[in-house]
Amino acid sequence: MTTWVALVVVVLMLASALAVLLLRSFVAAVAATAVVGLGLTVLFVLMRAPDVAMTEAAVGAGLSGVILALALRRLGLWRIEDNGRGDGDA
Amino acid sequence: MMSLTLEGVVLIGALGLIVIGALGMAISNHLFRMLLALVLAESGANLLIVLSGYRVGASAPILGFGDPTAPMVDPVPQVLVLTAIVIGVGVQALAVALLLKVYRVYGTLNVRELRDRMDADVATAAGVEADASQDAPAGERPLPPVPAHASVGSGGFGRRGPVPFPPQSDERRP
Amino acid sequence: MRNLASLLFAGGLAFLLLTLLSQLAFGTPPMRVGSEILAVAPGEVGAANLVTAILLGYRGFDTLGELAILFAAATAAGVVLGRRRDDARRDPPGGEVLRTGADLLFPLLVVVGFYVIAHGHLTPGGGFQGGVILAAAFFVALLAQPARHLSHGLILWIEGLAGAAFILIGIWALVASGDFLAPLLGPGRMGELLSAGTLPLLSLAIGLKVGAELAGIMAHIADAEAPDT
């Protein structure tokens, strides 16, 4: 049972990790990073590491996303999409 | 066919995160996406370290919950990862600060444009002509002969153009 | 072409790591240090949460090093970003709902943060987790009302005092028992709030230091000037 939960979470996590690289909008990519953090939290709980899970929940899904989103705001990439050539900041 | 175990599944997840992160850092053209890929790779490494302390059927390393005689998972990797996560967010914030500074100075985060502008800056600081192409051979190496249709006056150190040899532009060389 | 090479590289890396790591016996850790600590820690330290016992007791010096790294990162971020100009444009304040919600959330987050710090030796939690929650509490308030000023001087003082307290407790242990950062004051009765010797004090110092540092970094980033978009 636990194995199947882990399998679903791992698939979800790897899919959002790929989405981080493929999504054109930077805001969506940052949100996908936070999804990866949440998946990691579940996996840490399954690995019997509640302390690490707590840290990852506070940092990976919360603080890190906020820092990255704030950086987007300050870089002016908030609404602009990456057009695949990497010069979406013009 | 390998049987499906918890540690096998988590191992695949950790390796997948590391590989996706490394791939992202290699193929990204944008510094911010590189930072996101770095975060992914770091998460994968943390998961791998915690996995190395996992014991099948063991309980969490906290006394007072559940059966006191049951074995516990190895707590040392958990301690290492615990601090590594917090350090990671600090390093991430430092990277964001550097990105902000780069963006303020150069006005772009695209890796290729950044390289061009930095090259131009370095050339300006060194007092040399900046527009020499990276692809053009440097120094006194012999160059292929100019095709016949190239007009005589048009040679020179153009951005992509071939440099005529032997002739008429010798006096321009330093 | 470059992408193809990168894909090949990633495939090779995946194959290499999978081949190397599939040789290891995951699920039955061979490390002897962990089992030794699990055997002796409950009697020696008296903390129910063995992760905290290792973090602050057996590997306390290592934790001090990690705090130093975090301090270096925070200082470097501050140096890189520099001071904000007085005439720089600020973000507009959030709406009524956002501001009221942030004001309601602030005391709750602070209480949760200190609870997590204080019970670090009994339940999952401790200085690092609680510190992150504290930083989040201050940062939510700052995000809702960007014009509100977060005093950098006060943050520096909290950070410095907490770091000094951590080192002073370590030196006290060095004088009293001969080992730097060894737990003092006896293990006490396991499961009570005031047990495990000096571990709760160290936990509090770490929590304040981590919280102040992260809040300081984020206030610096929030203070950076936005481009004119």
pLDDT tens across B151-169, in order?
A: 444 444 444 444 444 444 4
Q: Is the ipTM reported for this complex over the cut 0.95?
A: no
**Angle at alpha carbon of residue C107, lines to C219 and C162, rounded to 5°:** 55
Instruction: Determine contact: C14 vs chain B, CB below 8 A.
Output: yes
User: Does C191 or A58 have the greater pLDDT score?
Assistant: A58
User: Does B166 or B49 have the greater pLDDT score?
Assistant: B49
Residue B129 phi, psi (nearest 5): -70, 135
- Enter the DSSP assignment of A24: S
C20 token code pair: 């190397």
Share of chain A above pLDDT 90, in %: 37
Amino acid B39: pLDDT: 93
Residue bearing tokens 């005092």: C161
Decide if C51 is inside a domain: yes
Partners of B61 in beta bridges = none
Tally of CA atoms within 13 A in the half-sphere of C76 that contains its CB: 15
Average pLDDT over residues C27-49: 76
Instruction: Determine contact: C39 vs chain B, CB below 8 A.
Output: no
User: Does B44 or B1 have the greater pLDDT score?
Assistant: B44
Decide if C228 is inside a domain: no
Span of B71-75, B117-121, C99-103, C183-187 with lowest mean pLDDT? C183-187
What residue numbers bound the domain in which C40 lies? 2-223
If you average pLDDT over every residue of chain A, what do you get?
A: 83
Residue C22's H or E segment, with its range, is none
pLDDT at A90 over 50: no
Q: How far is CA C83 from the centre of its chain?
A: 25
Residue C103's H or E segment, with its range, is helix C96-118
Amino acid C226: pLDDT: 63
- Is A29:B29 a contact under the CB 8 Å cutoff? no
Decide if C177 is inside a domain: yes
Give the list of residues 6+ apart from residue C158 with CB closer than 8 angstroms, or none.
Answer: C208, C209, C212
Cβ distance A63 to C126 less than 8 Å, yes or no, reads no
End-to-end Cα distance, chain C = 35
Nearest-neighbour CA in chain B from A73: distance (Å): 11
Amino acid C89: pLDDT: 66
Partners of A81 in beta bridges = A25
Instruction: Determine contact: C70 vs chain B, CB below 8 A.
Output: yes
Amino acid B161: pLDDT: 44
Amino acid B40: pLDDT: 93
Domain coordinates in residue numbering, chain B = 7-57+72-125
Cβ distance A66 to C221 less than 8 Å, yes or no, reads no
Cβ distance B22 to C13 less than 8 Å, yes or no, reads yes
Partners of C224 on chain A (C-beta within 8 Å) are 74
- Is C203:C120 a contact under the CB 8 Å cutoff? yes
Span of A13-27, A30-44, B2-16, B51-65 with lowest mean pLDDT? B51-65
Partners of B43 on chain A (C-beta within 8 Å) are 36-37, 40, 60
Q: Quickly list DSSP for A55-85.
A: HHHHIIIIIHHHHHHHHHHHHT-SSPBP-SS
Domain coordinates in residue numbering, chain A = 33-78
Instruction: Determine contact: C123 vs chain B, CB below 8 A.
Output: yes
Domains: count for chain C: 1
Decide if C162 is inside a domain: yes
Partners of A75 on chain C (C-beta within 8 Å) are 227
Amino acid B59: pLDDT: 77
Amino acid A38: pLDDT: 92
- Is B10:B56 a contact under the CB 8 Å cutoff? no
Amino acid B54: pLDDT: 84
Partners of C224 on chain B (C-beta within 8 Å) are 97, 100
- Band of residue C33 on the pLDDT scale cut at 50, 70, 90: confident
Instruction: Determine contact: C10 vs chain B, CB below 8 A.
Output: yes
Amino acid C156: pLDDT: 84
Buried b (16+ CB within 10 A) or exposed e, C42-78: bebbbbbbbbbbbbbbbbbeebbebbeebbebbebbb
Q: Quickly list DSSP for B11-68.
A: HHHHHHHHHHHHHHHHH--BHHHHHHHHHHHHHHHHHHHHHHT-BTT-B-SBTTSS-T
Nearest-neighbour CA in chain C from B26: distance (Å): 6
Across the interface, which of A7, A43, A86 has its CB nearest the CB of B47? A43
Amino acid B173: pLDDT: 44
What does each C-alpha distance from B158 to B117, B124, B127, B164 come to in angstroms? 18, 17, 18, 11
* pLDDT tens for each residue of B122-160: 888 888 776 655 555 555 555 556 555 544 444 444 444
pLDDT at A80 over 70: no
Q: Which of residues 24-53 of B touch A (CB under 8 A)?
A: 24, 27-30, 32-33, 35-37, 39-40, 43, 46-47, 50-51, 53
Cβ distance A70 to C218 less than 8 Å, yes or no, reads yes
Nearest-neighbour CA in chain A from C71: distance (Å): 17
pLDDT at A17 over 70: yes
Partners of B41 on chain A (C-beta within 8 Å) are none
pLDDT at C28 over 60: yes
User: Does C209 or C27 have the greater pLDDT score?
Assistant: C209
Topology of domain B7-57+72-125 in CATH is Helix Hairpins (1.10.287)
The whole-angstrom separation of Cα A15 and Cα B17 is 10
Q: What is the CA radius of gyration of chain C?
A: 22
Across the interface, which of A59, A75, A78 has its CB nearest the CB of C132? A59
Amino acid B132: pLDDT: 54
The whole-angstrom separation of Cα B112 and Cα B118 is 10
Dihedral of the CA atoms C142, C145, C146, C148 (nearest 10)? -80
